[in-house]
Structure 1
Amino acid sequence: MKLGTLALLLLVALVQPSWSPAAQQTGASAESPALTTRLALRDLWVEHIFWVRNYAVANQTGQRQQAEVAATQVVDNAKAIAGSIAPLYGQPAADQLLKLLAGHWGAIKGYSDATLAKNDAGKKAAVAELTSNAKAIAKFLSDANPNLPEDALVSMLGAHGGHHVAQIDQLAKGGFAGEAMTWQAMRKHMLVLADTLGAALVKQFPDKF
């Protein structure tokens, strides 16, 4: 299974609070396509939060060149995620997902920039955009996979966005111990997303695995 086929799944993983039950349903074994998919999804989404954090840190400390590189990597990662669904859902769906992921990143970047500028109105607007985007992504994923309840996706995507906001606030205030805890929560959340998403993909496309 190519890494490209994994993107939608990772976002879809937001639906389920834990991976273990779903994973057991896949019957994944060592070196199976299902396991390969799960591991690739983990890499893809941990990379997302890794580069977003790098941008937030660089932006907060005025490291413009570092921030630009991190932003480029965030965009490249979003393209990889969007492109990954094309083999299963088609290029139009991949293009739509990329637009939605661009909105997600735009809201996070906007919040970081507004935080740096001490612009409370800008922060509020960014959070509203992040919330609206989460609902749009949830609808997209739910429409793509009938096994994914839209309301559950909205809740899980909202939690993901909340991690980004909390992390940026903590970095801005120098709350590094708290930010370390937030990072651990974000990473755990991404692993749950990847694992659950892999199980959801196997369920929707059993003939592919």
Structure 2
Amino acid sequence: MTPLLRKATLLMICLALFGVPVMAVAKEAQRNGQQQECIKPKEVKLQGDMRKLWVDHMIWTRGYLISALAGLEDQEKVLARLLQNQVDIGNAIKPYYGEEAGKKLAELLTEHIVIAGKIIDAAKKGDQATVEKLNKEWFRNADDIAKFLSSANPNWPEKDLKEMMYTHLKLLSDNLQARLKKDWDADIAAFDKGEEHIIAMADVLTAGIIKQFPNQF
């Protein structure tokens, strides 16, 4: 890739990230007589890696939901892959926050999945009392995740992270209820909304890391 094409590609990615009108930026660049990169290759890579990890989180959570409710033979294999994803997300922050922080995040996210699995089992049995009890634990775990992350990075306000985690839980719950009712349209809609939300959440985490550790990019 030529330097000019590389700069143009980075500029277009920047526009997509920040929603800046293409023509407005082009005119401004023309006026300035130069075209500057607004994001760096390492920033692009981090964003791509973070998005993939969190989209995988959604994909494998949905996979386990389907397998568990239907009692499919792949249930344990899918669960193992889903749990590995939580370790992978923890590993992704180790270059910035260290080994212990990465392990801690993986532990919190693993708890998030374990509780979700219990909720699925209880919902499948129609045990609403247990579902409600587990939901309280699920939101408490979400609070713990938000608190942990916000303590690591001042660019991740705890309140904002809680809101994002709560939305994540709600959309997962919507997915579960839709499948229990065999409302496939609602099931697909909930997953699509959940995927869109998780990508936005991944971008918030990426932006926070880049802002906190500019010298690493």
Measured against the shorter chain, the TM-score band is: 0.7 to 0.9
Q: Distance in 1 between matches of 2:120 and 2:52?
A: 24
Matched, 1:97 2:108: no
SS at match of 1:110: helix
SS at match of 1:156: helix
| Match of residue 208 from structure 1 | 216
Deviating above 6 A after TM superposition, structure 1's stretches of 4 or more consecutive aligned residues are none
| Match of residue 190 from structure 1 | 198
Residue identity over aligned pairs, in percent, reads 29
Paired residue for 2:173, among 161, 165, 168?
Answer: 165
Paired residue for 1:78, among 80, 86, 91?
Answer: 86
Equivalence map 1:1-209=2 (5 Å): 20=18, 27-29=38-40, 32-63=41-72, 65-209=73-217
Q: Distance in 2 between matches of 1:148 and 1:198?
A: 10
Letter in 1 for 2:97: Y
CA RMSD in angstroms comes to 1.6
2:55 and 2:195 in contact (8 A); partners too: yes
CA displacement at 1:174 relative to structure 2: 0.3
Q: Distance in 1 between matches of 2:115 and 2:18?
A: 32
Listed one character per residue, the Cα deviations across residues 40-87 of structure 1 (whole Å, up to 9, x for unaligned) are 111111101101101111111111x21111100111111111112122
1:111 and 1:165 in contact (8 A); partners too: no
CA displacement at 1:197 relative to structure 2: 2.1
Unmatched 5+ stretches in structure 1: 1-18
How many residues are matched? 185
Letter in 1 for 2:146: A
**Greater RCO (Cα-Cα under 8 Å, separation 6 or more):** 1
Q: Distance in 2 between matches of 1:79 and 1:150?
A: 22
| Match of residue 31 from structure 2 | none
TM-score (norm 2): 0.81
2:164 and 2:201 in contact (8 A); partners too: no
Unmatched 5+ stretches in structure 2: 1-16, 20-36
